[in-house]
Amino acid sequence: MKPAAFDYVRAATPEEALEVLDQEGGDARILAGGQSLLPMLNMRLARPHVLVDIMAVAEWRELRDHAAGLRIGAAVRQAALERLDDLPRSQPLLAAALPWVGHAQTRSRGTVCGSVAHADPSAELPLVLVALGGEVHLRSRRRARRVPAEAFFTGMMATSRADEEIVEAVSLPARRPGAGYAFREVARRHGDFAIIACAAVVDGSGARLAVGGVADRPVARNLPAPDAKELTEALDDFAWDLDARDDLHATARYRRELVRRLGRKVIEEAARCHA
């Protein structure tokens, strides 16, 4: 349970970090808070040749809440978001999900972009990003591009990020007036990986439900309004389409049942906030 050997680079600017990625590609890994990467290193599931510590890059510490939404830089820790007094008002879904991300003892170090880059299928922050239709800002030495969250997550811990790119920031659209938001999760113990996590956005036109922990990535679907008769059938279809699997923590059948029940619950809860 000790990491294999690697070089360690402390980058002071984005250019320095991107240069290492450009030269070493897949042999290099970005080290931010380390709360996803260090377990992988300790268990030797990852054996990079070089780690690039980006926490000293001032530009990536940017956390900007403006009219269009919230932009969270690569070096912003989860705890820094929790300390934003205005977060429950400006980003109600994010504020509801944050306490479920790991434990206070890991949020103190872990970054938002790190969790997104790691792309664990049961992680809360990728789920929130998909539910809200957020964007992932990727940057390499040669180019910068923005990828919608739904296109960024491509599978189990797999993303559309290329080896020489870093997740430079993620952005969430501003809260929509008249929309309601809710988040719920079922786990064996608070802070454990979610057996299933649900995030809902409800407005006058219908509901959008995102589910994590069931498929190999967070998946969102637009559903009928909570008072519509068709919702039950739509939730049932969604539950089957997510292709749940049995594992140590829960059976596929239990997970499908949770999609139906927890899914309805968060949609109803979001509708109440919206009402």
Partner 1 sequence: MPRLSADRLHTVSFTLNGAPVSGAAEPRMLLTDFLRHVIGATGTHVGCEHGVCGACTVEIDGAPARACLTLAVQAQGAEIRTVEGLESSPGHLSALQESFREHHALQCGFCTPGILISLSALLRDSPEASEQEIRETLAGHLCRCTGYVPIVTAALAAQRRLRKAKGSADA
Chain positions contacting partner 1, by CB under 8 A: 1-12, 16, 31, 34-35, 38-39, 41-43, 49-51, 53, 55, 79, 99, 102-106, 108-109, 189-191
Q: Which is nearer to partner 1, 40 or 174 (CB)?
A: 40
Q: Which is nearer to partner 1, 68 or 104 (CB)?
A: 104
CB of 220 to partner 1, least distance (A): 28
For residue 111, how many other CB atoms are within 10 A of its CB?
Answer: 30
User: Which pair of tokens denotes residue 29?
Assistant: 């890994």
Q: Which is nearer to partner 1, 50 or 87 (CB)?
A: 50
CB of 112 to partner 1, least distance (A): 16
> What distance in Å separates the CA atoms of residue 86 and residue 25, rounded to the nearest whole number?
39
Q: Which is nearer to partner 1, 105 or 154 (CB)?
A: 105
CB of 42 to partner 1, least distance (A): 5
78 residue type, one letter: Q
β-strands 50-53, 7-10: how paired?
parallel
CB of 9 to partner 1, least distance (A): 5
Q: Which is nearer to partner 1, 53 or 62 (CB)?
A: 53
Q: Which is nearer to partner 1, 191 or 206 (CB)?
A: 191
Q: Which is nearer to partner 1, 1 or 67 (CB)?
A: 1
> What distance in Å separates the CA atoms of residue 67 and residue 64, rounded to the nearest whole number?
10
CB-side neighbour CA atoms (13 Å) of 64: 13
CB of 45 to partner 1, least distance (A): 10
Long-range contacts from 70-73, C-beta under 8 angstroms, 24+ separation: 70/94, 70/171, 70/172, 70/174, 71/137, 71/169, 71/170, 71/171, 72/112, 72/113, 72/169, 72/170, 72/171, 72/172, 73/113, 73/168, 73/169
β-strands 158-159, 206-212: how paired?
unpaired
CB of 108 to partner 1, least distance (A): 4
> What distance in Å separates the CA atoms of residue 20 and residue 41, rounded to the nearest whole number?
19
β-strands 50-53, 28-31: how paired?
parallel
CB of 222 to partner 1, least distance (A): 34
Strand partners, 124: none
